């Protein structure tokens, strides 16, 4: 049978909404109330995000439960869409303040409010004077003039500008900037562990996981560390712009030119942290210890993996999947790469970018899905590393996770997963989620 991928959607344009981004940035900022100036169904998106967060934490085995702040909607209807919804927003703000007694109110604008031209910024200023507490309107309007990340960063910038002041540095403290699976996710847990090897303590993760009373921990930090996966990602560039804004306001240095994703990258990242925090010796000791432990992990499984063959099936954009880390790990484990298949999950121009990167990293043959030799390549390999689950159940597949892994943790897990998938009976195939 030919190659077939399960559940594929190709995004041709950026079609996300800024309002969920505002909610993600503010949903756990205790002391705040968030108002969606929108029709009521818009709030359902935020509810879905909260449910997903709950199940993700449950699946990860954490006992921590985060409680989101109150979320209201002004409930724009047909009448407001014609005659304007400013009075509706005023009523909603008064209700929110009377019911919840918040320290601050944040307004997220919808497409509807943008189309009808409600001046939410002016209303925020008016209601702030009337009620005597900070009220801020985030500038993006749903799908009109932004996207998810624009809402996220606009809300974060509002927190920086309204709730932080320059402060004296607290030596040995680090603030994480971004999300990457949340404050209790595997990414942040491992990053905390690596920083602790340099006697550095994470005091906050901004913007989503600080109360309004705790915001001052950000300008007090010795270093701000950006969370992410690669330097040339567009969203990371926007996050770096926010970090630069914070540096200009508070003088706090930040690390945004290297990320701790992959073994070699993590070595560079630890050295940069050591330089910025004047802990070069601690960084070198940490690198030596982690490298020794990783070398032992490779040696432990190399006897089972060396000489075995694999194929690599790629369907993610280069912004989301960097083949260099996988190819480097295969070399260390002695696994032979028979070839690479580029799946029909790319826009044509983006597939060409990935092909160029793959050919730069390896001499293994590259096939397109559906071309001669692609299907045979997958079936001839002992197992397949793939970014998308393939329909053919006879293939022994190792599914590569979307979220980045920090440090050496991803390589360690993949080594163990490769060993396990080889124990599956060849005729039965199987799938392991890496």
Residues forming beta bridges with residue 398, ordered by sequence position: 385, 432
Question: For a pLDDT cut of 90, what percent of the chain falls above it?
Answer: 66
Q: Which two tokens stand for residue 254?
A: 């930040």
CB atoms within 10 A of CB 77: 13
- Whether this prediction's pTM lies above 0.85 is answered by yes
Residues 6+ apart with CB under 8 A from 54: 65
Of residues 353 and 410, more confidence is placed in 353
pLDDT at residue 14 above 60?
no
Q: What is the mean pLDDT of the chain?
A: 90
Average of per-residue pLDDT across 51-59? 65
pLDDT at 10 over 60: no
pLDDT band of 126, cuts 50, 70, 90? very high
Residue range 198-202: average pLDDT? 97
For residue 63, what pLDDT is reported?
59
Which residues, including other chains, have CB under 8 Å from residue 276's CB and lie 6 or more apart? 223, 253, 255
Phi-psi domain of 61 (left: phi exceeds 0; alpha: psi -120 through 50; beta: other) = left
Decide: helix, strand or coil at residue 353: helix
12: pLDDT confidence band, cut at 50, 70 and 90?
A: very low
pLDDT at 231 over 70: no
Q: Give the C-alpha separation, 152 to 113, whole Å.
A: 18
Per-residue confidence (pLDDT) for residue 9, from 0 to 100: 53
Write down the pLDDT at residue 403.
59
In the block, tokens 């989301």 appear at: 320
pLDDT value at residue 67? 85
Please say if the pLDDT value at position 288 is more than 80: yes
- Predicted pLDDT at 287: 98
Asked if residue 56 has pLDDT above 80, the reply is no
Q: pLDDT-derived band of residue 427, with 50, 70 and 90 as boundaries?
A: low
Of 298, 326, 333, residue with least CA distance to 311: 326
Round the CA-based radius of gyration of the chain to a whole number and report it: 24
Better-predicted residue by pLDDT, 301 or 52 = 301
> Rounded distance, CA 306 to CA 336, Å?
8
Percent of the chain at pLDDT > 70 equals 91
Lowest mean pLDDT among 72-86, 299-313, 327-341: 72-86
Domains of the chain in start order, with CATH, are 18-163 (3.40.50.1980), 170-285 (3.40.50.1980), 306-433 (3.40.50.2000)
pLDDT tens-digit map of 150-165: 999 999 999 999 999 9
pLDDT value at residue 2: 63
Flag whether pLDDT at 57 surpasses 70. Answer: no
| pLDDT at residue 404 in the model | 60
Please indicate whether residue 48 or residue 109 has the higher confidence score (pLDDT): 109
Average of per-residue pLDDT across 301-320: 93
CA distance linking residue 11 with residue 28, whole number of Å: 30
**Is residue 62 pLDDT above 80, yes or no?**
no
């Amino acid at each position: 049978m030919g190659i077939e991928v399960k559940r594929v959607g190709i995004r041709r344009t950026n079609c996300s909404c800024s309002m969920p981004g505002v909610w993600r940035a503010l949903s756990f900022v205790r002391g705040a109330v968030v108002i969606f100036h929108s029709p009521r169904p818009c709030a359902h998106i935020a509810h879905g995000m909260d449910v997903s967060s709950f199940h993700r934490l449950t699946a990860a085995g954490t006992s921590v439960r985060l409680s989101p702040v109150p979320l209201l909607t002004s409930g724009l209807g047909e009448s407001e869409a014609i005659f304007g919804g400013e009075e509706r927003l005023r009523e909603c703000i008064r209700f929110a303040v009377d019911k919840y007694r918040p320290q601050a109110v944040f307004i997220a604008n919808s497409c509807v409010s943008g189309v009808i031209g409600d001046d939410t910024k002016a209303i925020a200023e008016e209601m702030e004077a009337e009620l005597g507490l900070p009220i801020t309107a985030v500038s993006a309007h749903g799908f009109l003039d932004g996207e998810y990340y624009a809402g996220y960063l606009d809300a974060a910038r509002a927190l920086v500008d309204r709730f932080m002041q320059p402060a004296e540095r607290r030596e040995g403290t680090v603030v994480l900037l971004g999300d990457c699976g949340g404050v209790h996710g595997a990414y942040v847990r491992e990053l905390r562990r690596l920083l602790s090897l340099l006697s550095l303590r994470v005091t906050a993760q901004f913007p989503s996981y600080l109360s309004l009373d705790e915001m001052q921990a950000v300008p007090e930090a010795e270093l701000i560390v950006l969370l992410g996966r690669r330097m040339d990602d567009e969203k990371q560039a926007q996050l770096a712009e926010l970090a630069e804004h914070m540096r200009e306001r508070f003088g706090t240095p930040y690390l945004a030119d290297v990320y701790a994703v992959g073994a070699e990258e993590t070595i560079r990242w630890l050295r940069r942290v050591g330089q910025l925090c004047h802990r070069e010796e601690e960084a070198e000791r940490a690198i030596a210890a982690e490298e020794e432990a990783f070398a032992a992990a490779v040696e432990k499984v190399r006897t089972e993996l060396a000489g075995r063959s694999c194929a690599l099936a790629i369907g993610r954009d280069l912004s989301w999947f960097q083949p260099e880390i996988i190819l480097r790990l295969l070399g260390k484990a002695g696994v032979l790469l028979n070839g690479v298949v580029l799946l029909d999950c790319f826009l044509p121009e983006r597939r060409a970018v990935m092909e160029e990167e793959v050919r730069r990293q390896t001499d293994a043959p590259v096939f397109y899905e559906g071309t001669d030799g692609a299907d045979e390549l997958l079936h001839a390999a002992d197992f397949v590393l793939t970014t998308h689950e393939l329909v053919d159940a006879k293939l022994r597949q190792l599914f590569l996770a979307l979220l980045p892994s920090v440090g050496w943790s991803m390589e360690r897990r993949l080594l163990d997963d490769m060993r396990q998938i080889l124990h599956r009976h060849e005729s039965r195939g199987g799938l392991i989620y890496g």
